[in-house]
Structures are given as structure tokens and as C-alpha cells.
């Protein structure tokens, strides 16, 4: 009978309000952890799906300015790289969108985030495309492909060239050039 009384005392302790609250708190913590894990898995699946979409578009030659960037595309690019399914076209597409401030890069905060997360070659490519666009010279599709190759080969030199172009095309220089041309 002593064992029976000990078991009854343990059960009463478990059912006390303070103990119930502890159990409920533990169950709530477990539910939150399960929900967080489910959310993480869904995000991974969405990331993999976007990476697959970008890879398919790149392979088909259809990853161009008609495809808008979305938040998370930088991570999808990294996912492709780590999965061994990297396409340089993706870097060119991201650089062009960054240079044009198109897609989700229309938001200055998204551009700032991209500058912190994209590799130096993509950032340099975007900077050079931006500077070249300021020259006003029209460029047909594919004519600026060299900018991506230059950025891949030497991001620092590409950044230096972009900075030089920006400095050379500063508004005061453009105004002076316009006045000289008008004479």
C-alpha cells in the first residue's frame, strides 16, 4: 500500500496548478519550435523552387529583363552555386537589374542589402553597367557582355573603371561638354 500512496502523491503533485502551468508552457514551447521548423522548411522549399526556376530560365536563354527580380534571388543564386548548378547568366541578370534599379531593386533598401550580399564581381558588373548607361550611348542586347567578363576577371579594376566613368561624367563635366558642343 505504501507504493500506491507514493504514486497517488506524485499524481497530485503533477495536477497542482503550478505544475499544470509548467507543463502547458513546455507544450507551448514545443508547438512554437515545431511551427518555426515548419516555416524554415517551407522557406527552403520556396528557395529551391526559385533557384530551379532561375536555372531553367538561364538554360533556356530566357533570363532577361522581362523576368523581374524578387527578394531572396541573391540567396537563390547562392543556392545554385552550392548545388553545383551555377549559371553565369544569373549574375549578369542580377547585375543588370541592380544597375537599372528594376524589380525589387527599385527599393533602395533592397539595393543596399544586395550590395552587402552579392559577390564583388556582380557588384562591380552592376557599377560598370550603371556608369556605361550614363554615357548615353545606346547598347543593343549582348553588346555589353564584356562588362560581365571584365567584372569576373577583375572586380577591383571594373570598380575602378566604373568610378572613373562616373567621375568623368559628373554633371559639371557634362554641362561643360554641352556648352562646348553648342559653340
Q: At what angle do helices 73-83 and 108-117 cross, to 10 degrees?
A: 20
For the whole model, what pTM was predicted?
A: 0.72
Distance between CA atoms of 151 and 126, rounded to whole angstroms? 9
100: closest CA among 55, 66, 71? 66
Structural domain of 104: 2-182
8 Å CB contact between 105 and 69: yes
- The pLDDT of residue 90 is 95
Distance between CA atoms of 170 and 183, rounded to whole angstroms? 21
Question: What pLDDT digit, counting tens, does each position of 72-82 carry?
Answer: 999 999 999 99
8 Å CB contact between 21 and 29: no
Distance between CA atoms of 37 and 27, rounded to whole angstroms? 15
Number of domains the chain is built from = 1
Give residue 183's pLDDT band: very low, low, confident or very high (50, 70, 90). Answer: very low
Output the 3-class SS for the chain.
Answer: CHHHHHHHHHHHHHHCHHHHHHHHHHHHHHHHHHHHHHHHHHHHHHHHHHHHHHHHHHHHCCCCCCCCCCCCHHHHHHHHHHHCCCCHHHHHHHHHHHHHCCHHHHCHHHHHHHHHHCCHHHHHHHHHHHHHHHCCCCCCCCCCHHHHHHHHHCHHHHHHHHHHHHHHCCHHHHHHHHHHHHC
Residue 62 cell numbers, joined: 530566357
Question: What pLDDT digit, counting tens, does each position of 93-125 carry?
Answer: 999 999 999 999 999 999 999 989 999 999 999
Question: What pLDDT digit, counting tens, does each position of 10-51 carry?
Answer: 555 555 666 778 778 888 888 898 888 998 999 999 999 999
Sign of CA dihedral 34, 39, 41, 42: positive
Amino acid at each position: 500500500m505504501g507504493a500506491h500512496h507514493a504514486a497517488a502523491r506524485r499524481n497530485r503533485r503533477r495536477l497542482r496548478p503550478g505544475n499544470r502551468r509548467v507543463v502547458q508552457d513546455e507544450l507551448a514551447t514545443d508547438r512554437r519550435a515545431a511551427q518555426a521548423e515548419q516555416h524554415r522548411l517551407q522557406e527552403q522549399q520556396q528557395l529551391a523552387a526559385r533557384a530551379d526556376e532561375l536555372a531553367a530560365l538561364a538554360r533556356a536563354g530566357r533570363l532577361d529583363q522581362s523576368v523581374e527580380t524578387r527578394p531572396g534571388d541573391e540567396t537563390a543564386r547562392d543556392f545554385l552555386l552550392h548545388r553545383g548548378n551555377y549559371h553565369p547568366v544569373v549574375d549578369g541578370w542580377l547585375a543588370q537589374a541592380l544597375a537599372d534599379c528594376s524589380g525589387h531593386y527599385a527599393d533602395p533598401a533592397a539595393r543596399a542589402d544586395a550590395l552587402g550580399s552579392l559577390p564583388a564581381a556582380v557588384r562591380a558588373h552592376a557599377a560598370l553597367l550603371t556608369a556605361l548607361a550614363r554615357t548615353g550611348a545606346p547598347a543593343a542586347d549582348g553588346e555589353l557582355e564584356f562588362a560581365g567578363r571584365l567584372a569576373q576577371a577583375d572586380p577591383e579594376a571594373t570598380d575602378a573603371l566604373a568610378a572613373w566613368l562616373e567621375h568623368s561624367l559628373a554633371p559639371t563635366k557634362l554641362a561643360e561638354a554641352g556648352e562646348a558642343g553648342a559653340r
